[in-house]
Structures are given as C-alpha cells and as structure tokens.
Structure 1
Amino acid sequence: MVTDVKIAYSPLNDAALVLVAEALGFYDSEGLNVTLSREANWSNIRDKLAYGLIDAAHILAPVPFAAALGLGPSMGRIIAPMALGANGNAVVVSHDLKAKLSDDDSLHTPLMSSARLLAREVERRRKAGEGRLVFAVPFTWSPHHFVLRHWAASAGLDPERQLQWVVLPPSRMADMLKDGVVDGFCSGSPWPQTAHLMGRGQLLFADPDYWSLKPEKVLGVRAAWAEDNPYATISLVRALLRAALWANRPANRDDLMRILARHVYVNAPQEAISLALSQGGAGYTLDPETATFPWISHAKWFMGQLVRWGWVEPDHDFDHLARHIYRPDLWRQAASGLGLNAPEADEKDEGGHSEPWVLPASPAPIIMPANRLFDGGVFRCR
C-alpha cells in the first residue's frame, strides 16, 4: 500500500534530508508517494501545516511550540518525530559594521568580543543621534532570532529597545544588506555564503561559534495525519534517517552538494553551498545518531527562549507540552531497523561539553561531539 504525503520545505541546505530522500528514492522504497513543495517563507509553511494543506514539513524547531502557545494560527497539533540535523546558520553584517566588530582582519570574531564591540557601536550611534542598528531574521520565533538576541544580551544590550528587527526571506537578505536597509542578518545556509561571495557583506560568525551542536530544524508532522497513518509516519522518519546515513558519508559530499544545488531544490550557487558545508563553514551536521534525535531538552530550551524574550508567559506546563510535541518514541521505532544506537534518556544537559563525550545509548554508547555555548552557559531541565 502506498501512502500519499505532501511535504513543504524552505530552499536551504538544512532541507538536505527531505531533498536527498526524494532524489535517491528513499520515499518510494518506504511505500510513500511524496510531493514536495518549495516555499518562499516560513509563514507559508506554518500556515499550510496549520490548515492541513500539507502533511509534513521541514520547519523551524520553535514553530510548533509557538503555535501551541498561541503565537500564530493553531488549527491542530504539530508533532516533531525527528530533528533534521544541527547547526547550518550564519550571521552576515555590512562591511562597515564588520570593521567595527573586529579586533583584527580575521574573518571570524569571538562572540563575546564582538558583542562588546556591538554594544560600543550601539552607544556611539545613540550619542550621535543615529538610528538603531537593524538586523533581519527569517521568522520572529526562530533560532536565528534567539541567537542574535542572546549574543547582543551577553554584552548587556537590551535587544528589544536598543536594536531593530525585521523579518525577511533569506534569499532577499543580501540585497537588503547591500542597499543599506539592514546592517546584518542571520539565516540558513547557503544564503549568508552567497551574500559573502557576492561582496554584499561579510561573515561574522556561524552556528558552531554560538553553540557547537545547536538545534535548528525539525520534521513537523500534523498530529492528525500521523494518527491516521501510523505506519506511514514511521516510514517517513525511516526514509529521512536513511537519507542522513547517506548524506553523512564523506564520500557522498560532492553528490550531496550537486543535489542541493539543483534548480528544483535549493537553487543556489554550488560554490556557496560548498563554502557552507566545508570545514569552518556553518557546521551543518547530518549524523543521524548525534543530530537527528528530538531531544526534550531542546524543546524546553526553545520554549524557554519564548519566555525569556517576553513572547509567552511562564505559567505553562512546559514538560507536558515538550513531550506532547517532540516524539523521541517515534524516532526510536524508525531507527530500530537501521542499526542506529538510540539514546537511553530523552533529555540531556545542553552546554557544558567542550570536548567529545559519551552518551549512554543502546545497544552501544554514542560518541557525541562537543556541546558548548559561547558564554559557557549550561541549560539543565532538572
């Protein structure tokens, strides 16, 4: 029996698993007839999920929580049975601002240092009677927005009062930077790298500089569809985990870049895609064991950011909501036949690991990459 599935995605490198699964026939071999829909912005994807126009999507991890907490349309619950990798974003600023945020001529500036220089520039502009610095993000309730706010706040800035925020599609951000409409932006790759290669701005930092194993996108599935199609839901997750196994192999890197660069997929210069995926790039991690598990601790961190920045009140049962949306049980079912090790717990400390470490898992432990936040913070659910 073949199940029809409509899946939306944004043209970004971190849609790789969704795209590879189609390109290599993993959906077909799992009994799924998948129709992909490339969308111009995250609002389209959110609304199509909410109104049942699609069944699943490559989506910003905070969006299902924002919807459940009353931020935007909520016509039905969205579950997340897996993450679609880790990292993948970068921050680009104007040439002028980059010079002011740098102590030397290096491409990357340590975040604490650049945050202090940002605060100095904000104060200079205030004294000179100039307008606030403007930063673009692809969606209000997005990891991109959380990263920039946390970075600015680490130097004592109030991101709400002392900076200005605009929402733009990632593909338009480079033009807005070139035209002086914004001073910087954070978006998914390969658009920051495209802006850099076109000379429209300079890379300031990438996700791994902020959080070495930062959660970003998830597979969002309409809960009603998943309940009506339990076997197809597991098949969908399994197809994407198979895509991760393939994409994570170094021997397949060139083929992965060619797939992403296709006109019908990301449709960006292969040079920009390569720069983002290269060592020292945006750090996009596809390893299925270390970057696709839907951690309850990630869910709570995202909801904590919604509270931190004043978008929701703290009087919610966040543990219940996290487990209502993130579904590690479905990940474990899908992974069981693929030879993957499954974490024994659903939560872990986020941050605090500056070196690789051992995660208890079954049937064998998982060697996890470093899990470090730039300011040394550790997020604990307990």
Structure 2
Amino acid sequence: MSNFSNVSRRRFVKLAAASSGAVLLKGCLGNPPDTTATTAATVGSAALPAANVGTGETPEVTTIKLGFIPIVESAPLVIAKEKGFFDRYGMTGVEVSKQANWASARDNVVIGSAGGGIDGGQWQMPMPHLITEGIITNGNKVPMYVLAQLNTQGNGIAISGMNRQKGMGLKINDPEYVKGFERNQGRKFKAAHTFPNVNQDFWIRYWFASSGVDPDSDIDLLAVPPAETVQGMRTGTMDAFSTGDPWPYRIVADDIGFMSILTHQMWKFHPEEYLALRADWVDQNPKATKALLKAVMEAQQWCDDPANRQELVQICSGRNYFNVPSEVLTAPYEGKYALGDGKPEVNDFKAGPLYWKDDIGSVSYPYKSHDLWFLTETMRWNFHNGAIQDFDMARNLIDRVNREDLWLEAAKEAGFAAADIPTSTSRGIETFFDGVTFDPENPEAYLASLKIKRA
C-alpha cells in the first residue's frame, strides 16, 4: 500500500519528469552578479554557471518576514539574505527576524506578519504539521506548508561533567547507573531539550530508549532554555542536553561536560530542520514562494562549498545573527568535534552541518518519508494525547502540509542538475545506529519493533 495519496504521487511524477531536462548545477555565488555572466565559484571541484533567473516569473510581492533561531540550522536563511540570493530572485524586501525561542516563533506565525509576527521560517519537525492541526496552538488551526529541508546533522547529546567515566557513549553501557540515579543521588537523572515533542526531544528519547532507559519514567526529561540548561550542567543540577551547534563546542571547550553522541552517529544524514510558511501566504503568492525557494536552495549550495565556510562563520557569528565568537562555529563547520570523556575526536567535513547534498542524495528536498518518521515518533510517545491517531491520519496530514511539488517546480525553473532532483517522494529504508530500520512503506513494523513506547 502506498504511503501517500495517488493524487500526490501523480503530481510528483509529472513534476519530476518535467524537471529531468534540467542539466545545469546552480552557482554558489557571492554577491549577485549580472545574470549574463559566468562564475568560477565551485561546489567541491565542479565549476558552476550563473543562475538561470530568466523564467519570466515576477513575484507577486517582494516582502516576507521569516523567523529564525540562532543555531546552524538557520544558515541558509541568513546567507540568502546576506549574500543577496533573495534579491537575485526579486525578493528584495525579505526580513530575517531572530526569534527568542521556539514558543515565540510558534506564537508569531499564528498572528502572522500582518499582526506583527512572521509569515514562516525555520522549524523543528513536526511543528508545521502540529500548527496546521492546532495541536500546539490551543486549537487555533493555522495551515502551514513545508517547502524544503534546511540541513542535516549539527546536533548531539551532551552529558555533564559529573557523569564522566560512566560509559555514556553511542550506547549507555550501564543503564542501571541512569535508572538508579535517584537512589544514589537523591534525584532522578535530569535531561533537557529546547522544545517538547520535536527534533531534539526525539533524538534524546531515541538514544535513551535504545539502551533500555525509559525517558518518561526512568529520568526527568524537560524543555529548558539552552543557557539555563548549560548553567545547570555547570552546577551539577542538569545531566544531559539534546542540543545543536554551537552548544556542543562550548560545552566541551568550557569543560562543562562531554558529548555522548552526535546525531550524525545516531542516524547518518538524518532530517533536521525545515523551511515552512503559512499556507495562506503561499496560496496568495505562489511565484514569490518559488523565488524564495530558489534563493534558499542557492544559499544551501553556497553553504556547502568548503571554500565558503570561513565566510559563513563570519556572517553567522555576527551580532545580528548568532552573536557568538567565530571560533565556536569554526570547528563544527569543518566537521571537527572534540567529544571529551576520552572519546576520539571526529574530523570529517560530512559529519558537520550539510545543507544541499550528502552521501545519500538531496538534503534540501522535503521527503515525505521523513515527515512520516516524525509523525510515527509522535505516535510512538503518545504525544498530544494521541492527537495523531493512526497512519492514515498521518499520511493525510503529510499530503496537506508537504509541498514537494513547489520544490520541484522551483528546481526545474532554476535549472538545477537533474542528478540533484530526487525522483521519489521517499528516501527509502532508513537505518539507525542500533540496527533498527524504518521502512516508510511499512511504518507499522518499525513501531512494533520498538521495545520502549507509549503506543
């Protein structure tokens, strides 16, 4: 049985076929050049032509307000703004607005830019689906569209210094140390993430459960702001943190703790955060939406060029964006991670954040199979009192929220290489570090195979 509706599949096949004639790889350019010029910029060793912006499509509007959180996942939005890619496609009035936290971003997208909020931006998954259904907005349904994945990797699970030499790595060697923490320390082992029931919550839950630790009963798992969490790790009141760059570098460099695992080690080239907009904005401005997509996709290519990483660090570390010392971004963007606690250092460019392509294929493309994994985990943990009730409901919601068709149209119009345009809405079977597999054609089997779950 197919995961997604026949209508969605027909639309996908039609657009993918139309895209197959695109043979140019987009340019990772600096400041926008004259569109008749060529460029010597490269991704890896491949020389890139200038962008094909002559599609004859003028955006309905030139302004939009996009929210971002100051972590590496937001880099494509920052770069598209600072390097002129938005301007390149006629979106000359894009505002990239720093959000205080995920709750603020959620609240701001509900009121929209007309009410002083935002039209969309960067999201953990499956926030767009939950906002669409009113599940995390007090029943206020604000339909959203997922348009692109922003990045893969760039996350990990940090452990406080008081838990050194306890065998906490890819697997927890002594689960009873964690389970018996309250008996020995007078409190439960305490772990944190930045927002409940989304990416970083999923990563740390999966890690604990894979070693037989129930994140709902054996530990205290809380949503806590990063700065407060790190201070708790420093003082010995917080034991673990599911977090993204640049925090892993700071935690190890400041000797607050160590990294038990990088998400790259947990699930290579996993889906991370996404670009999603209010559906009403997209429906009213389809040409402007595709212009935004083209700009973000070019920015993703620019970000993945190793020759651009130093400039990427300088831009993102700036006061208007991440507001951190540049050195805390340099190592992650080189794929260099000092894990601490006697673990060997990671030195692999592909272990750090990637934005356009990885060893499997497209990073930017919003695979529906990945949406399904996030909603399967939502069912696994019975989040939101079982609001996502079954796989039919999950697939229907994905078909309404995921706009892979717009990604394909934008890629075709921009002239991306055919090899960079996926030919399936599914990335296929995914394999995790503990040997568990997720087959999007049979998510029921994945859910049944998990020993610790609420479903």
TM-score by length of 2: 0.74
Residue identity in the other structure for 1:62: P
Partner of 1:244: 300
Equivalent position of 1:9 in the other structure: 68
Aligned to 1:89: 155
- Aligned partners of 1:128, 1:246: CA distance in 2, in Å? 51
Aligned residues: 352
2:351 counterpart of 1:287: no
Shift of 1:36: 1.5
CA–CA separation in structure 2 for the residues paired with 1:55 and 1:201: 38
Please state how far the C-alpha of 1:318 moved relative to its aligned partner: 1.3
Q: Secondary structure at the match of 1:58?
A: strand
- Compare 338-347 and 10-19 and name the one that shifted more: 338-347
CA distance in 2, matches of 1:269, 1:101: 32
Aligned-partner residue type, residue 421 of structure 2: A
- 2:333 matches 1:258: no
CA RMSD in angstroms, aligned pairs only: 1.7
Contact preservation (8 Å) 2:362, 2:421 = no
Match of 2:121 in 1: 57
The secondary structure found in structure 2 opposite 1:317 is helix
Structure 1: stretches of 5+ with no match in the other structure: 103-108, 352-371
2:208 counterpart (152, 162, 176) = 152
Number of the residue aligned with 2:135: 71
Following superposition, the deviation at residue 67 of structure 1 comes to 2.6
2-side partners of 1:268 and 1:338: how far apart? 36
Deviation at 1:70, TM superposition (A): 4.3
Kept in 2, the 8 Å contact 1:297–1:350? The answer is: no
Distance 1:250 1:338, change over 3 A: farther
TM-fit CA distance, 1:333: 1.1
2:220 equivalent to 1:164:
yes
- What's 1:318 paired with? 394
SS of the aligned residue for 2:136 comes to: coil
Distance 2:134 2:197 in 1: 12
SS of corresponding position for 1:345: coil
What per-residue deviation string (whole Å, max 9, x for no partner) do you get for residues 180-200 of structure 1?
231110111102211221222
- Cα gap change, 1:204 to 1:156, in 2 (>3 Å): closer
2:405 matches 1:349: no
Structure 1 runs of 4+ off > 6 angstroms? none
Question: Aligned equivalents of 1:99 and 1:339: distance in 2?
Answer: 49
SS at match of 2:309: helix
In 1: Cα distance, 2:173 partner to 2:429 partner: 24
1:34-76 CA-to-partner distances (Å, cap 9, x unmatched) read 1121012101111111221211211112111223444311431
- The corresponding residue for 2:90 is 31
1:39 & 1:332 partners in 2: Cα distance?
29
Task: Measure how far apart 1:272 and its partner are.
Answer: 1.4
Counterpart of 1:61 in structure 2: which amino acid? M
Distance 1:269 1:77 in 2: 38
TM-score (norm 1): 0.88
Match in the other structure for 1:339: 416
CA distance in 1, matches of 2:309, 2:182: 47
Residue aligning to 1:195 = 251
Match of 2:266 in 1: 210
Q: Is the 8 A contact 1:174 1:201 kept in 2?
A: no
Matched AA of 2:369: S
Most deviating of 222-231 and 288-297: 288-297
Measure the CA separation in 1 of the matches of 2:194 and 2:226.
6
Q: Report the AA paired with residue 415 of structure 2.
A: L
By how many angstroms is 1:131 displaced? 1.4
Question: 1:241–1:343: structure 2 CA closer, same or farther, 3 Å change rule?
Answer: same
Counterpart of 2:54 in structure 1 is none
Residue in structure 1 matching 2:403, options 314, 327, 337: 327
Distance 1:350-1:275 versus aligned 2 partners, 3 A rule: farther
Corresponding residue of 1:303 = 375
The amino acid of 2:374's aligned partner reads F
Task: Give me the identity figure in percent.
Answer: 28
- Looking at structure 2, the residues matched to 144 and 190 of structure 1 have their Cα atoms a distance apart, in angstroms, of 14
Tell me, in whole angstroms, the C-alpha distance in 1 between the residues paired with 2:320 and 2:210: 40
Deviation at 1:135, TM superposition (A): 0.6
Q: Give the deviation of 1:280 after TM superposition.
A: 4.4
